[in-house]
Structure 1
Amino acid sequence: MKNSIFQSFYLAVTMLIFNNSYASIQSDSLKSRIIPVDTVIKIKANPKLGFNYPYYLRIPKGLKKNDVQYLLVETNNTGVNDTLEFHEKEAYLQIMRNSLGSSICSNLKVPFLMPVFPRPQKEWTIYTHAFDSDAAKIKNGDMKRMDLQLIAMIKNAREVLKTHEILTKEKILMNGFSASGTFANRFTLIHPELIAGVACGGINAITILPIPESEGKSLKYPLGTKDFEKLFASKFNMKAYQKVPQYFYMGENDKNDAASFDDAYSNSEREIIYELLGKTMIPDRFTKCEHIYAENKVNSTFKTYANIGHETDQTVFMDVYIFFKNIISQ
């Protein structure tokens, strides 16, 4: 069933696969000033340019080529599977329809990037889609520093978009839900200077904290910034992080707590989460994170939605849409 759905969506849009050169699309759709049809471009992995996995780039119907656009980025949250083909198919569906980012792309009329990052079953403790501690510590191989690979993809996407007469702003909009929301939250703390605004939902009521310790507890990544310089070879830019508009949201009935699973957190990390932030996600843990962000003057909004669980609805979509729309309008 998944394959048939995937194939039908391939027929519904213009699908392009680029290697190392980016020939302009010679169709009336991309020569016009307003894009009349959705176009999805698949960029193959290019280790020489800094990314070991492919990514998708969507140019939405209605995008105005004469405007300088924000690039919307959302990482794939495609489950556990040892084949990259599986993640490619699922990421394609997510960039087209199966993500909040796809709806934001369609309604804001901004280009949308989604990487095809693996999450292998055979290395199940490495939670790449959330960029956990195990993922951040990878020093060799294709999965090394996926945050830097994403930056390389973003740089490459800007060049691809230029060939279609679409210019983008220096900073990006970042969105995510569940594991991709956690990735977005952590990526923003590591690279705040790249982010114009970020929305993160369904993140187990845990935000990475922009502090090295709290209440006598050392907060190493992904809980805080204690070992930031050791892991990322740079100092945490607190001033830049404080300026980034951030929107965090949870459903009040959300029971999906990654803190209880070994692929997301170690035993020591779990103990700190429970002792410092609370075992109950809503309202205890989420409220504690909100207070810590407020105390540290981070430009953040925390919201809990009634009557929903680990999901989004039209109300969530409208709030996230308005959040990004306000950033674009500035």
Structure 2
Amino acid sequence: MDSRPTEVQRRRILQMTGISTAGIVGFSERTLAQEEEDTNVTIEVPDQVSDGESVVIESFETDVDGVFQIFQDTDERPVYKAMEIEAGTESTNWEVELDDPIPESQSVRTSLYPIGGGQSYDTVSAEVRISETVDGANPFGPPYGTEPGVQKIEADPDAGFHSPYFLYTPDIRSIEESVNDSRERPLVVTASPWGEFEERVEGARRPDGGTTGRIANAMNCPVVSVPLTLTEGFLGLEPHELTLAHEIEITDPRRERVDRQFIAMIEDAQSRLNEGIFTIADQVHYDGGSAAADFIERVAPLHPEYINALSAGANGYSFLPVEEVTDDLPVHGDPERTTVPFPIGAGNLEELTGEAFNKEAWMDIEQFRWIGGEDQDPDDPDNYTYKRFRGDHREISQAIEEIFGTLQVDERFETSREMYDHLDVPATFRTFEGQPHSPDWEYRVEAVEFHKEQIEEDFELVHVALQEFASEAHVGDTVTVSVVATNRTDVGSSTTISLAVDGTEVEATEVQVDPNSRETVELETTFEETGEFILSVNGTTIEDPVVVDDEESTETDTQDAPTDADSEEDNSTMDQDEATADEQPGFGVVQALAAVGGVGYLIKRRLSNNN
């Protein structure tokens, strides 16, 4: 691997003694172009495994303007990337998107040239490997089975849903198979339940915007947006209420058991997405405010096993996972009845559905609940626009007022917080002071951060890919296995990487990877006997075994410090390698003679300057 940082300066001309004439020409042209000023250009590129769409530059720094290029290290030199770079540019772990993909494993050279043409300020070569490394691996492929962007999925009654839905797939580059379990992501879901059918469809068509879009793009998660509404019925008020009452006749199939249609849409989206390298988790993340929050408030108790986390806002009261009001429950008032009816509690849920409430699954849902601090009207609370159950159904309305109070924020939201604390519900409550029913975006992003944190906690975000290792060794040799840990999300995350020999773990290390960056990790093991040994990283077997013979290694871990002569030889060799790699194709006798003359001129001029 040639990943040494190199510094090219005019004063290094005297170090060129003894290199090839091709190297002399390359260096002398560059030096003459830079004669009036010193330049400091550093490029460091590691050997790496790539999908062919990008190359990682470990470090880059320049104090001059230049043309940055990545190209194949051959005489033909097909260019994969070309762009102008400004003086003062510094970067580490820079993932460069290529203009043209690298078609196969090869040596790739990265250089910075003068904008007006000439030899490079600095150049470095690295091996970019695009190959199958793990048994049965499909090295690269699309993350999901759907094309990036938003697509409308039409209604499919045979699949269980009578309305269309919208599916957003974030634009993620093809990824490599990972040797750890980093290829699972949750589906993010939201609903647009307000208005008539056409209005709901229009409201659902942008799953790539708002909160869900930010979660998707930050965490590489797809989004489903459903135009489902809750049915008007014995629960009163608006057409947002989920009714399971048998006496309510529903003639529109789009309103029939929308909770089941909701689940059918999720399962349909999962089957479409799972055709890529990523797989979709069984449980979803849900986000919604106002009517969309009201929607999940009713669906979650019916199907809690489908939900991993939810954020819901702009509603005062919260569903209670209890059937009865007990004396120790910190309710707001003095309820006349002890049963807590659905949808505010689980009291009659089994009677309505025929199935018992799955409290254990519901209690596993992580929740973020928010409300605007001004989302109430203390002067006229009974007629406040966004107050649910204003009296359309007296039994439910009375139960809410007795248990939660009347004011949306000061009573209902705060009482919900107290009762959730008492019941040990895993929920965070946030009041956005001074904010109305629809808070400003700077407050709503807290829901985004909530989902990002939960996804980072519950899912492996760091891809771990094998980079290189020696398949042959001698007794006493230390074999190093290099892996690359890549994090393509907007949050920092850590992972544990382990190396095992014949199933026995010999080394393990934890690595922290910053957002949208990667780290190279080296794992080592020493072989004390001959034979064939199977290596595995994080439990994934490496295809080629390590063959160890009985010839002892003559190398030692420590080396004598280099002498001055060694240093001079190394410097000369380094300069020769750099210049030779950057020579122009078709170098001949005439150019060689010119090169010799050029060096004589430069040395003479340098001596004159020194005098």
- The reply to whether TM is greater than 0.5 is yes
Asked if 1:244 is matched to 2:365, the reply is yes
Question: Residues 16-95 of structure 1 correspond to what in structure 2 (within 5 A)?
Answer: 38-62=148-172, 67-77=183-193, 79-81=194-196, 84-93=197-206, 95=207
Distance (whole Å) between structure 1 residues aligned to residue 398 and residue 231 of structure 2:
26
Distance (whole Å) between structure 2 residues aligned to residue 41 and residue 135 of structure 1:
35
Cross-structure match for 1:228: 349
Match of 2:403 among 276, 290, 308: 276
Distance (whole Å) between structure 2 residues aligned to residue 168 and residue 139 of structure 1:
36
SS in 2 for 1:56: strand
Q: Structure 1-normalised TM-score?
A: 0.78
Question: Residues 1-330 of structure 1 correspond to what in structure 2 (within 5 A)?
Answer: 38-62=148-172, 67-77=183-193, 79-81=194-196, 84-93=197-206, 95-97=207-209, 99-118=210-229, 127-129=238-240, 131-133=241-243, 140-141=250-251, 142=253, 143-203=255-315, 205-214=316-325, 215=335, 216-255=337-376, 256-259=385-388, 261=390, 266-330=393-457
One-letter code aligned to 1:102: G
The structural deviation recorded for 1:155 is 0.6
One-letter code aligned to 2:394: N
The structural deviation recorded for 1:200 is 0.5
One-letter code aligned to 2:362: Y
The structural deviation recorded for 1:64 is 6.9
**Structure ID, larger Rg:** 2
Q: Is the 8 A contact 2:143 2:172 kept in 1?
A: no
Q: Is the 8 A contact 1:71 1:173 kept in 2?
A: yes
Cross-structure match for 2:594: none
Q: Is the 8 A contact 2:187 2:222 kept in 1?
A: yes
The structural deviation recorded for 1:138 is 5.6
SS in 1 for 2:155: coil
Q: Is the 8 A contact 1:105 1:112 kept in 2?
A: yes
Larger CA deviation: 67-76 vs 132-141: 132-141
Residue by residue, what CA displacement relative to the aligned partner does 1:94-153 show, whole Å, maximum 9, x if unpaired? x243x43233333333100011225799x9967454x43478986654111111111111
Q: Is the 8 A contact 1:251 1:306 kept in 2?
A: yes
Distance (whole Å) between structure 2 residues aligned to residue 233 and residue 85 of structure 1:
33
Distance (whole Å) between structure 1 residues aligned to residue 246 and residue 413 of structure 2:
24
Change in 2 beyond 3 A, CA 1:274/1:145: same
Q: Is the 8 A contact 1:133 1:222 kept in 2?
A: no
Q: Is the 8 A contact 2:287 2:310 kept in 1?
A: yes
Richer in strand (by share): 2
Aligned length: 292
The structural deviation recorded for 1:49 is 1.0
Distance (whole Å) between structure 2 residues aligned to residue 113 and residue 290 of structure 1:
29
Larger CA deviation: 299-308 vs 103-112: 103-112
The structural deviation recorded for 1:202 is 0.7
One-letter code aligned to 1:71: L
Change in 2 beyond 3 A, CA 1:53/1:302: same
Distance (whole Å) between structure 1 residues aligned to residue 257 and residue 343 of structure 2:
14
Q: Is the 8 A contact 1:136 1:144 kept in 2?
A: no
Q: Is the 8 A contact 1:171 1:196 kept in 2?
A: yes
Q: Is the 8 A contact 2:244 2:353 kept in 1?
A: no
Distance (whole Å) between structure 2 residues aligned to residue 307 and residue 132 of structure 1:
32
Larger CA deviation: 104-113 vs 230-239: 104-113
The structural deviation recorded for 1:50 is 0.9
Distance (whole Å) between structure 1 residues aligned to residue 171 and residue 400 of structure 2:
43
One-letter code aligned to 2:155: A
Q: Is the 8 A contact 2:235 2:396 kept in 1?
A: no
The structural deviation recorded for 1:31 is 6.1
Q: Which runs of 5+ in 2 are unaligned?
A: 1-100, 102-139, 177-182, 326-334, 377-384, 458-611
SS in 2 for 1:196: strand
Distance (whole Å) between structure 1 residues aligned to residue 362 and residue 287 of structure 2:
16
Change in 2 beyond 3 A, CA 1:63/1:80: farther
Q: Structure 2-normalised TM-score?
A: 0.44
Q: Is the 8 A contact 1:80 1:119 kept in 2?
A: no
The structural deviation recorded for 1:33 is 5.3
Change in 2 beyond 3 A, CA 1:303/1:50: same
SS in 1 for 2:282: strand
Distance (whole Å) between structure 1 residues aligned to residue 199 and residue 141 of structure 2:
33
Q: Is the 8 A contact 1:104 1:321 kept in 2?
A: yes
The structural deviation recorded for 1:194 is 1.4
Distance (whole Å) between structure 2 residues aligned to residue 43 and residue 291 of structure 1:
42
The structural deviation recorded for 1:261 is 4.4
Distance (whole Å) between structure 2 residues aligned to residue 71 and residue 33 of structure 1:
13
Q: Is the 8 A contact 1:228 1:234 kept in 2?
A: yes
Change in 2 beyond 3 A, CA 1:233/1:135: closer
Change in 2 beyond 3 A, CA 1:158/1:126: farther
Residue by residue, what CA displacement relative to the aligned partner does 1:197-255 show, whole Å, maximum 9, x if unpaired? 1110112x111111123243322111111111122221111122222111111110013
The structural deviation recorded for 1:156 is 0.5
One-letter code aligned to 1:202: A
Distance (whole Å) between structure 2 residues aligned to residue 190 and residue 225 of structure 1:
10
